[in-house]
Amino acid sequence: MKTIPVPGHPRTLPAPVRQPWQTVIEAGVPRSLVWSQYTLPIRNLPPKLNGLRILHLTDIHLTPRWMPSLDKVLERVAANPPDLTCITGDFVEAKHDAGPSIANVRRLVSGLKSRLGIYGTLGNHDGDVLPTFLPDWPVRILLNEVLTLTDGDTRLEIIGLHGVEPCDTPERFYTDLPPRPANTLRLALVHFPSLVLKFPPGDVDVVMAGHTHGGQVCFPGGHPLMTHDPLPRRFARGVHEIDDRWLVVGRGIGFSTYKVRAFCPPEAIELTLIPADSKPG
């Protein structure tokens, strides 16, 4: 896969916790989980959204067998629910038959609690039929659409891209996005990290993505052998500032194809947003 350049001088935030590289291999069903917490300074953050907590989950790859690592997610959410939960695709592992895994998808999303709701987009494993199973469940799947939450003159806009294939979002979707109104926070949920470069400068504050699994099988220290994304390999996991936006790439929770992780533990990400002129506490 040809690598595409990233404009400007991007910086990467350091990992918030020491990664447990000593548990280097995990196979079968994921049991461990790293809960990564980042504080993101946002330019012109609406005052009412100062301190907004977002739980980002991705690449769960559910099968008919429940993952013990998800119990840890649900326990932590029950003890301290986030303001917003965002899931960036690959709810299930089986690309052509989600049916046997749907009971576990329901078990997961029904156990998540968020003050402002649970929102997601599809991944390349989900297929177009997955949303037919979800209409009455507490997760809103956004497919090339913008959802707006308001509180007085404060707006929170959530953009969800169709993520079964990178080309499922037409170019005009990006170019036709209206200018961001004043007092607005704009988030984007995408499956493929490289789509961060499709948004015009200044259009989004935070782009959340998955797909790479952080490499899933990495060298010691977490350097990925393969990422399945055209961005440079260091963008396969973590939080990166690219020009005027943040790219958040989760390592995911499940496995894809090969039921093993090496030097790349499963991960849930918690983001706390603060004004850009503030200092993390």
3-state SS record for the chain:
CCCCCCCCCCEECCCCCCCCCCCCEEECCCCCCEEEEEEEEECCCCHHHCCCEEEEECCCCECCCCCHHHHHHHHHHHHCCCCEEEEECCCECCCCCCHHHHHHHHHHHHHCCCCCCEEEECCCCCCCCHHHHCCCCCCEECCCEEEEEEECCEEEEEEECCCCCHHHCCHHHHHCCCCCCCCEEEEEECCCHHHHHHCCCCCCCEEEECCCHHHCEECCCCCECCCCCCCCHHHHCEEEEECCEEEEECCCCCCECECEEECCCCEEEEEEEEECCCCCC
Average pLDDT, the chain: 91
pLDDT in tens, 72-119: 999 999 999 999 999 999 999 988 888 899 999 999 999 999 999 999
User: Is pLDDT of 188 > 70?
Assistant: yes
pLDDT in tens, 14-40: 887 665 554 577 777 888 899 999 999
Q: What CATH number belongs to 36-275?
A: 3.60.21.10
pLDDT in tens, 107-141: 999 999 999 999 999 999 998 888 888 778 899 99
Average pLDDT of span 140-157: 96
User: What's residue 17's pLDDT?
Assistant: 66
